[in-house]
Structure 1
Amino acid sequence: MPRLERGRAQGAGVASLMEIDEPPLAFSASGAGPVDVPAVVRSTYVAADRYGFVTAVDGATLRFGVWHARQPVARGSILLLTGRGEFIDKYAGEVIPELLARGFAVYAMDWRGQGLSERQLEDRQKGHIDRYDTYLCDLKAFLAGVVAPEAPRPIVALTHSMGGHMLLRHLAEQAGDTPIAAGILGAPMTCLRHEAIIATILVLLPPVAAIDQRYFYGSAPFRLIGREFTGNKVTHDERRYRFTEAWFDADSRLALGGPTVGWLRQTLRSNKVLAEPGYLERARTPLLLLTAGQDLLIDGRTHVTARSRLPNCRHIVYADARHEIMMEIDPIRARFFADIDAFLARHAPARS
């Protein structure tokens, strides 16, 4: 990919930017847009107006997409921060069109190690990170190189799971020095379910590359075989549950398997950072924290504690929702959008 190599050459200490303009549904395999779009979302899918790569300070390339507001004067911008294993295209089938209909521009980035951003390991299927400070630096590179210079204000972050974790880390670390005016935390990753058991296992595994780069117990490359809807942990909606595999089939570069030992080790370390006294208290940005009452991946009980420590946060629980609230059945999604509409009306009101 010659464009990626040029990005590396510019990446010595300063984030650089590459943009690729390509027509909807006609992307090249070497570009920043998807090769194809699954039939299941084709009728509602909206391609980004601009795809590109921002180069992080260490030279890694991070894929992003920009959707311009569909009206002359934008209401503001949504910064979409996805969860572990996700990719921006998954949200372009339904969620991003909903945001565009509300008058917002949308900015989204694939986290390092997933989507079309640079992978950490030779085995592209392994979900891995060396440390969460790397994610923080990547987010800062995207904000500084793409979002802050051009995004219509106000900028509101809409996050899911790990994306919510990273928003909390960013707001606490930056202590107000950020272009983000408000944030929505969808099932934020503040503590994993069964985290104590995972920690016990990790203690027995030496923190060396040969171990950390292995799949964690029970994790494996993504396989469609055995991926049954019954018993899944993320949604009650089977059509939306199939979005991930449909996208992997449409563009195999997006495929990602389970987490490595190292990813889980670093996740638990970062969760401890969130729990440090005085840390979340530094995040004074207005926040809406949304808990999935039937979450089998995140320990939603820790959201109550997080809410009590965040200076400017409202907390709502969806008792009937699983982990991916934005990918849930229509009645749950309707309540979700009603709640975020009320939040946005205060922090990004519609322009007359």
Structure 2
Amino acid sequence: MDCAPFFDDIAHGPDGGAAHWLHTADGLRIRVAHWPKTDAKGTVLIFPGRTEYVEKYGRSAQALADRGYASLAVDWRGQGIADRMMDNRAIGHVGRFFDYQKDVDALVAHAKTLDLPRPFFLIGHSMGGCIGLRALMRGLDVKAAMFSAPMWGIQMSLALRPVAWGLSTMSKPLGFDDALAPGQFEQPYILRADFAENTLTADREMFNTLRDQVRAHADLGLGGPSLRWLNKSLREMHRLSLRPAPDVPCITFLGSEEAIVDPERIRRRMHDWPGGALHVIARGRHEMLMDAPRLRETMLDQTAALFDAHR
């Protein structure tokens, strides 16, 4: 296996973290990072959200290590320092949404190659929650899952939704499916957002940390999605909504101030999830694992309790 760059200076994770390059079944190169834990109870597979990168989850990996778990995170195709899908690195793009499952397959195979401690568990945030739900429906071998603001729907006004579907559907025949989706920018959100109005975190220290990470390593940054990404994600979320929940114990966290993913889709999914529980976090925004220490600790205490109960 090939070692990959790992920016330990910004990760704030446990000692011993390392990254490797993996090659997917369709020939792309993605990056994974793992944080070992002596005598671990198991290994948590971390599925990040859109625009994210492995170092962003160093603090979560440290918190999981404190609770007895090793961690493994991934740079999905098209983000982090994995292979980007377009010459313009600033635009998030994907050929098919199902292609992310090839990244999942490579990640799981790598976990087995490293002989990471069993059993495996899942944490999926935002887009990683969408990818994770599909992976569970495909039989991902985990004992339990935690989702944070999962992307099972995207917030849009009733007036905008048909426009988004129509425009993104016609983008390929008209030859502009690699263009930015309406209202999106090439500059990463964290670099152009004002703290007082940002939709990610209510914790200024974490907001500054996320901004500093991208400033320190500009290649990690990613702007808005392409019209193709938008179309393929809408189709994937619709397909998933038509299928029953998998028979995997699950806990999901939703912030009361969520402004990116669709809370109603999350509520509907969790209402019908056998063995599932939904926790609404007062004043929580989209990235609750990147919020104030007390909020993060509470979430990870409950997550570790779920994982402990299903080892």
Normalization by structure 2: what TM-score?
Answer: 0.92
Q: Is the 8 A contact 1:193 1:299 kept in 2?
A: yes
Aligned to 2:274: 311
Amino acid in the other structure paired with 2:44: I
The one of 49, 54, 79 equivalent to 2:45 is 79
Amino acid in the other structure paired with 1:317: V
Deviation at 1:311, TM superposition (A): 2.4
- How many residues end up aligned between the 2 structures? 306
Deviation at 1:290, TM superposition (A): 1.4
Aligned to 1:64: 32
Q: 1:225 to 1:113 in 2, by over 3 A?
A: closer
Q: Is the 8 A contact 1:19 1:50 kept in 2?
A: no
Aligned to 1:24: none
Deviation at 1:147, TM superposition (A): 1.5
Aligned to 1:155: 120
Deviation at 1:339, TM superposition (A): 1.7
Q: Secondary structure at the match of 1:200?
A: helix
CA distance in structure 2 between the partners assigned to 1:266 and 1:295 by the alignment: 22
Deviation at 1:89, TM superposition (A): 0.4
Segments of structure 1 that go 5 or more residues without pairing to the other structure are 1-17, 21-30
1:33 is aligned to 2:1: no
CA distance in structure 2 between the partners assigned to 1:32 and 1:291 by the alignment: 33
Deviation at 1:48, TM superposition (A): 5.1
Aligned to 2:56: 90
Q: 1:306 to 1:102 in 2, by over 3 A?
A: same
Q: Is the 8 A contact 2:143 2:307 kept in 1?
A: no
Aligned to 1:52: 20
Q: Is the 8 A contact 1:292 1:320 kept in 2?
A: yes
Segments of structure 2 that go 5 or more residues without pairing to the other structure are none
1:218 is aligned to 2:173: no
Identity of aligned residues (%): 26
Computed over aligned residues only, the root mean square deviation of the Cα atoms, in angstroms, reads 1.9
Aligned to 1:168: 133
Q: Is the 8 A contact 1:63 1:117 kept in 2?
A: yes
Deviation at 1:225, TM superposition (A): 6.3
Structure number, greater radius of gyration:
1
Q: Is the 8 A contact 1:61 1:118 kept in 2?
A: yes
Q: Secondary structure at the match of 1:289?
A: strand
Aligned to 1:329: 292
1:19 is aligned to 2:13: no
The one of 209, 215, 221 equivalent to 1:255 is 221
**Per-residue CA distance 1:84-139 (angstroms, 9 max, x = gap):** 000010111x2111111122111111111000111000011111111111001211
CA distance in structure 2 between the partners assigned to 1:105 and 1:199 by the alignment: 43
Amino acid in the other structure paired with 2:155: R
Q: Is the 8 A contact 2:61 2:70 kept in 1?
A: no
Q: 1:204 to 1:95 in 2, by over 3 A?
A: closer
Amino acid in the other structure paired with 1:306: R
